[in-house]
Amino acid sequence: MLGYSELTSDPVAKSWLVALPDIENWPNRNMSGYGVNQAHTRWIINMAIAIPCTKLMRIPESQQENRVTRLSIFPLLFGLLGLAVGQQPAPKQDSSLCRVDSLPVSVQHGLRQDYASWKVQDVSGLSLRAHGRWESEKPLSCPGIAVGHFETGQTSYALLLVPVAKADAGYRFVAFSASPGQSDYEPTVLEKMDQAGAANYFIRATPIGKFFDQASKNRFNAHASDVILLFDSAEKEYGVDAYYWSQSRYRHDPVDY
């Protein structure tokens, strides 16, 4: 493909510049809002130049010497632009990861009753650092919902809630658990924060065996199958805390993860 310097040195190709004002700056323009990155822009320019149809687009010399119609080049360019964007895979829809309606009815009722002005932390609410850290964990899961056997053999649900009105203003870290044989889930507040910075936090469930061997389980009386990880991705305070069930209550300790 021709570069800009080669265009300006070739008299035939140079005539294309009439229809592409300021073309040398096109690859540097921020068009991310339209789903176009720098690679797309360079590809579009090079393709427009390389397509062997320059003779068809020339105005007769009697009207204008060595010029290309401005109107004829732009449909081609924007057609190529649409092709370049259309060929890119659609971004993953992460909103489906945080479906509150997938939680037990009792948990949903508790959220409506006690946390009506709060919502589950979702992907769109994460800071850049937190998003990068969250995305590195596989498989991807909702950053505000963790599901596992945190207390007994019955499934429990941990939720990281942020204010609906201003999501970064604080959080409530709540675990919903039901007693064996019961269907009603009761909330337990594990942690809360009432200052800016909630966008740096997300949660995740993981097997307890990643941090506790059998001796440690006996020592801390931690015999549930899973723990809840609370990630703090703030620039100066990065860390991970593991919340585990011990002696009928939740404890937490920082872990290397």
Question: What size, in residues, is the chain?
Answer: 257
Phi then psi for residue 215, to 5 deg, are -65, -40
Nearest to 130 by CA among 171, 88, 102: 171
Q: Give the separation between CA 3 and CA 46, rounded to whole angstroms.
A: 8
Q: Which residue has the higher pLDDT, 149 or 72?
A: 149
Nearest to 199 by CA among 127, 121, 143, 145: 127
Neighbours of 27 (CB within 10 A): 17
Neighbours of 147 (CB within 10 A): 17
Phi then psi for residue 156, to 5 deg, are -120, 165
Q: Give the separation between CA 244 and CA 207, rounded to whole angstroms.
A: 10
DSSP string for residues in 61-85: TTT-TT-B-HHHHHHHHHHHHHHHH
Q: Give the separation between CA 49 and CA 41, rounded to whole angstroms.
A: 13
CB-based contacts of 90: which residues, under 8 Å, 6+ apart? none
Q: pLDDT tens across 81-95, in order? A: 444 434 433 334 455
CB-based contacts of 244: which residues, under 8 Å, 6+ apart? 150, 208, 212, 220, 222, 224, 227, 228, 250, 251, 252
> What is the reported pLDDT for 88?
39
Is the pLDDT confidence value at 173 over 90?
yes
**How much is the mean pLDDT over the chain?**
77
CB-based contacts of 141: which residues, under 8 Å, 6+ apart? 97, 204, 205
pLDDT, average across residues 161-184: 94
Residue 64 tokens, joined? 């204008």
CB 208 within 8 A of CB 226: yes
Rg of the chain's alpha carbons, rounded to an integer? 28
Helices 70-86 and 38-50: angle between axes, nearest 10 degrees: 130
- pLDDT band, residue 242 (cuts 50/70/90): very high
What predicted TM-score, i.e. pTM, was given to this entire model? 0.65
The burial of 223, by beta-carbon neighbours within 10 Å (0-12 exposed, 13-18 middle, 19 or more buried), is given as: middle
Nearest to 194 by CA among 213, 166, 174, 222: 166
- pLDDT band, residue 237 (cuts 50/70/90): confident
- pLDDT band, residue 257 (cuts 50/70/90): confident
- pLDDT band, residue 9 (cuts 50/70/90): low
Q: pLDDT tens across 192-221, in order? A: 999 999 999 999 999 999 999 999 999 999
